[in-house]
Amino acid sequence: MATPPETAPTAEAVAAAPGAPDGAPRPGSGAFEVHLENFSGPFDLLLGLISKHKLDITEVALAAVTDEFIAYIRAAERAEAEGGRPWDLGQASEFLLVAATLLDLKAARLLPAGEVEDAEDLELLEARDLLFARLLQYRAYKVVAADIGTRLTEQGRRLPRTVQLEPHLAAMLPELIWQIGPEELAALAAKALAPPPPPPGVDLSHLHAPAVSVREQAAVLADRLRHGGAASFRALTADADSTLLVVARFLALLELFREGAVAFDQVTPLGELTVRWTGAEDGDVAVATDFDEGDDVVPAASPAVPAEQGEDA
């Protein structure tokens, strides 16, 4: 970083000066001004020249700028103590932000400009570009903020004009005609204010077929075999309209066979299965206790299939 010139006033010298010399800051004059060997003018102008690359940041003595700003703040504090205008704390915060940005930018600018091979040097160069972009953003926000402040000051004294609708425009509105009576209006209001009805329940009957009782199917098969003597399994399930009914009758035949109430005959392998009744000719058929807790066949979702397909399965 470049050292401040010997002629640059220090903070103590400016604060102790009885008057305001040419190189000293003047808090009553408004904006903070900088007085260097290669530049003299407002601080905002210095930022503008740096952002437009018309002034090299390496040629600016930031230490001298800092000394002048400290002297500016102390002079503002003395003026406030003497009953003058209070100094702006926001201006000090703004200077610290910009000065830190300029300091980082100057440190990055002093790096060698040759081919960069070190990763740390490359990061510093990237940081330099980011800091310069931040400086440009700061200037843009400052300009916009000043414009908004000006508009608020100028337009804050404006009031909207409140006038009635002109007669020739009021006559263009159609006359309101009521076509309903008090009863209809009350009914509409009651309908609008009534709570909404509960949503209808979802019907799940199409997802699951009804359960089929194995005990009931065992009674049906026993009645048919007692009257017919013998029948094929295809004939016993001919009237079954679902796979569940075929399965329930098949389980019922197995339970009847275990109880000794029926016998199976099959002449050829994989041929027609004939069922003969061998139990008592009357009375109820006692099915085993495997289905005592729940003798219903509860299906998953399954479509109805013909009885022939159920037997083949």
Q: In this structure, are 239 and 148 located in the same domain?
A: no
Could you read off the pLDDT of 66-99 as tens digits, one per residue?
Answer: 777 788 778 877 877 777 677 677 777 777 777 7
User: 83: phi > 0 → left, psi -120 to 50 → alpha, else beta; which?
Assistant: left
What's the CA gap between 118 and 98, in Å, rounded?
Answer: 29
Residue 176 falls inside a structural domain: no
Q: In this structure, are 17 and 147 located in the same domain?
A: yes
Whether the CA torsion 137, 138, 141, 147 is positive or negative: it is negative
Q: In this structure, are 249 and 136 located in the same domain?
A: no
Q: In this structure, are 140 and 51 located in the same domain?
A: yes
52-83 burial by CB neighbour count: b if 16+ within 10 A, else e? eeebebeebbbbbbbbbbbbbbbbbeebeeee
How far is CA 209 from each of CA 293, 300, 308, rounded to the nearest angstrom?
Answer: 20, 8, 19
Instruction: Kindly report the CATH number assigned to the domain that includes residue 272.
Output: 1.10.10.580
- Between CA 269 and CA 273, with CA 270 as vertex, the angle to 5 degrees is 100
Domain boundary, last residue among 138, 154, 170:
154
- Between CA 266 and CA 276, with CA 270 as vertex, the angle to 5 degrees is 25
Could you read off the pLDDT of 13-48 as tens digits, one per residue?
Answer: 333 333 333 334 444 445 677 777 777 777 777 777
Give the pLDDT score at 2.
39
For helices 119-155 and 89-109, the axis angle rounded to 10 degrees is 150
Residue 91 falls inside a structural domain: yes
Whether the CA torsion 257, 260, 265, 266 is positive or negative: it is positive
- Tell whether the model's pLDDT for residue 193 goes beyond 90: yes
Residue 34 falls inside a structural domain: yes
Q: In this structure, are 244 and 130 located in the same domain?
A: no
Reported in sequence order, the residue ranges of the chain that DSSP labels E, i.e. its strands, are: 33-35, 40-42, 212-213, 230-232, 262-265, 274-277, 296-297
Which among 52, 12, 53, 55 has a CA at the least distance from the CA of 36? 55
User: 300: domain range?
Assistant: 212-312
Q: In this structure, are 94 and 224 located in the same domain?
A: no
**Helix locations, 171-284, DSSP H:** 182-193, 214-228, 233-236, 243-258
Could you read off the pLDDT of 201-250 as tens digits, one per residue?
Answer: 877 766 766 778 888 888 888 888 888 888 888 888 888 888 888 888 89
What's the CA gap between 46 and 34, in Å, rounded?
Answer: 8
Residue 62 falls inside a structural domain: yes
Q: In total, how many domains does the chain have?
A: 2
* Mean pLDDT (whole number) for 125-153: 79
